[in-house]
Amino acid sequence: MSVATASCFVNAPIHAMDILRSPSHISAVRFCQRQRFAIERSRRCLNVRSTLPFPEQKAKYHKELEAAVDAVERACRLCVDVKSSLFSSDGRVLEKNDQTPVTVADFGVQALISLELGKLFPSIPLVAEEDSAFLRSRNLAETVVNAVTAKASPTNKPCTQDDVLDAIDRGGKDAFVFGSNPATYWVLDPIDGTRGFLKASKALYVVGLALVVDGEIVVGVMGCPNWQTDLSKKSTADFEECNDILNGSGAIMIAHIGCGTWTKRFSLLQDRTTKFPGAWTRCFVDGFDVVHKAHFCIPDSQTWESLPLSSIFNATTEPDSVEDNQILLLPTCCGSLCKYLMVASGRASVFILRAKEKTIIKAWDHAVGMICVHEAGGKLCSEWFFYTIVISNSLMFSAEIVIQDYYSLLSMI
C-alpha cells in the first residue's frame, strides 16, 4: 500500500483551538487549553438586529458574534442578488465565459463585511482574499458600490467609491503586518465555492467569517444561501413538505468558543419579514461508531475509487440500500467550507480530502470551519479507524496567512 496524503474530519472531542507563535514568528494552529484574552472593543453602539441562542453573560464575544451574523446575512443577500443577474428565469446562463458576476459578488461581500465590522470594531483588522487592484483594472468599482450600497446598514452618509475600495483594501495582503506576538483579527472568505456560485442549479457556496483573538479562533459564522434542506436530523423526504417555505431562505451556522455550534434558517429578503419554522438549533457531529454506518463526504474533484479505503468498502449514494461492505457517500459540493458545514451539522460523519504534498491552503478556507466542527464535538485530522493521520508542521498560519497543510496517511490496518 503506497503512502497517500489526506485530511479528515471525524467526530471526536478536541481541546480549544489555538494559533500560537512558531519559532520563526509564524502563527501556527494547534489544539490546547489556554486562558482566553479580552480584546479591545469599540464603545460605539451595536446597531444589529441578530439575536443569538445563548445569553451575553455566557459568551465573551457575544457582541462580535452578533455583528458577524448580521454582516454575513447581508452578504448572503448580496450574493443572491448578484447571482440572479447571471441566469434567466429558466436557468440559462446570460453571460458565458464572463467572470463579472462572481467578481462583483466576491469583492462586494468583502467590502460589505469590511464596512460593517469596521464601523463597530475599527481596531480589529481584517484578513481576506482580495484587494482592489483587480477591481480598478476592470472598471467594475461602480457595480460593486451599487451592490454594497443596496445591502449595507443605514448610515448618515452614502457609500462612495473610495469608501468601498478602501474597505476592500482593508482586508488585502498588505493591509496588516503580523509581528512576533499572537494577533487579533477577522478572517473572511467572501465566497467559498465559486464554481457552485456560477452554477444555475442549487449548488452550494458559503460566506465564511471567523474571529481570531490573541491567536485563538473564538467565533465563526458560515452563511449558505442555497441550502434547501434542514440542518437537523429530519430526512430529506420529510423536509420536502416545507420546500415552499424554504424558498427564499438560506442557512446560517455559528460557533462561539465554549458555547457550541448552532444553526438556523434566515430570510434572503431584505425586509426580513419572512417567517421560518423553528429558531436556533444546536448542532452535533454524527455519532457513528462503525465505518459502514458513517456518512462520507469527499470533494467533487475526487472519486471514492481514488481513496485507499475503497479497497475495503464500496460506495453507494442510495441511503436505503447500504450493504455491509458499502458506505454511504453523500452528494459532493463545491468549496472547503461546505464540507465543514456538513460535518458540523451531523449530516456527514467524515470528510476526506486527499491532498497533494506541500499543498498550500488559504487560512480563510478553514478557520471558520474549524471552530464550527470543534464546537459541535468534532475533530480535525487525527487517528481514525483504518487511517493514521499525522499532522506535520501542524496547520500553519503564516505571515501571508496561509495554512501549510501536510497530512500523511502512514498506514492502513
Distance between CA 105 and CA 308 in Å, rounded?
38
Distance between CA 184 and CA 362 in Å, rounded?
17
Q: Is 320 annotated as a binding residue?
A: no
Contacts of 181 (CB under 8 A, 6+ apart): 21
Is 388 an annotated catalytic residue?
no
Q: Is 189 annotated as a binding residue?
A: yes
Tally: H helices and E strands in the chain:
10, 18
Distance between CA 352 and CA 251 in Å, rounded?
23
Q: Is 191 annotated as a binding residue?
A: yes
Distance between CA 206 and CA 258 in Å, rounded?
24
Q: Is 192 annotated as a binding residue?
A: yes
Alpha helices by DSSP H, 36-173: 62-84, 100-120, 133-137, 141-151, 161-169
What is the distance in angstroms between the CA of the first residue and the CA of the last residue of the chain? 10
Distance between CA 39 and CA 368 in Å, rounded?
19
Is 90 an annotated catalytic residue?
no
**Which one from 18, 106, 163, 214 is the annotated catalytic residue?**
106
Pairing label, strands 379-380, 7-10? antiparallel
Please compute, for residue 137, the number of CA atoms within 13 A of its CA located in the half-sphere on the CB side.
5
Residue 194 CA: distances (Å) to CA of 83, 90, 99, 133, 285: 11, 21, 10, 20, 26
Residue 388 CA: distances (Å) to CA of 4, 9, 315, 381, 385: 11, 13, 21, 9, 8
Closest to 353 measured CA to CA, from 10, 11, 12, 8: 8
Q: What does the H/E/C string look like for 141-163?
A: HHHHHHHHHHHCCCCCCCCCHHH
**Which one from 194, 303, 316, 388 is the annotated catalytic residue?**
194
Phi, psi dihedral angles at 124 (to 5 degrees): -100, 115
Radius of gyration of the chain (CA): 21
Q: Is 318 annotated as a binding residue?
A: no
Contacts of 4 (CB under 8 A, 6+ apart): 307, 308, 354, 409
Residue 386 CA: distances (Å) to CA of 262, 311, 324, 349, 411: 31, 11, 16, 15, 8
The residues carrying an active-site annotation are 106, 194
Q: Residues annotated as binding site for Mg(2+)?
A: 129, 189, 191-192, 365
Q: Residues annotated as binding site?
A: 129, 189, 191-192, 365
